[in-house]
Amino acid sequence: MFIICIMVIVFIDQTVKHYIQSSMLPGMSFPVVQDIFSITYIQNAGAAFGILEDQRLFFIIVTMLVLICGAYFYPVLKKQCCMLRFGMALLLGGAAGNLIDRIRLGIVVDYFDFHIWPIFNIADIAIVSGVVIIIYHIFTKGLTE
């Protein structure tokens, strides 16, 4: 189920990004909820909030290391509770989705625009959700359950 979850996240993320790219031009935006939420296509050359802009190779290397560590520790992860496995799957699936963009396009496609927050994508949601689940699990259950 772990691998399937990762694959589903990558598939959904890449499908939505492909749709955004094929139907919008960079900078184009349309409101979903006026003055609150829009779909805005941007090309992000950095990380969250645009930090470390144009450090593509750095992000590729770091993400590859994260994915390699995930694969290396997979046998240990299989023995953990489903909440921790799910958090790791979200994290790895989101990381893989953004890595595909960086390798293929040199940027990450972002599109969810809440006007009070930097624009983000499904992979970003998966990464943040996965990290929150992992941290919650560690603080409430530790790493032994």
Task: Judge whether 101 counts as a catalytic residue.
Answer: no
Query: Are the C-beta atoms of residues 86 and 133 closer than 8 Å to each other?
Result: yes
> Which tens digits make up the pLDDT trace of 22-71?
999 999 999 999 999 999 999 998 776 666 677 789 989 999 999 999 99
Residue 37 makes CB contacts below 8 A (sequence gap 6+) with: 31, 112, 113, 114, 115
Task: Judge whether 54 counts as a catalytic residue.
Answer: no
**What is d(CA 8, CA 20) in angstroms, rounded to the nearest whole number?**
18
Q: Write down the catalytic residue from 13, 101, 113, 124.
A: 124
More confident residue, 91 or 1: 91
Q: Write down the catalytic residue from 13, 101, 110, 113.
A: 110
pLDDT over 70 (residue 145): no
pLDDT over 90 (residue 75): no
Q: Tell me the average pLDDT across 124-139.
A: 95
Give me 131's structure tokens. 């990290």
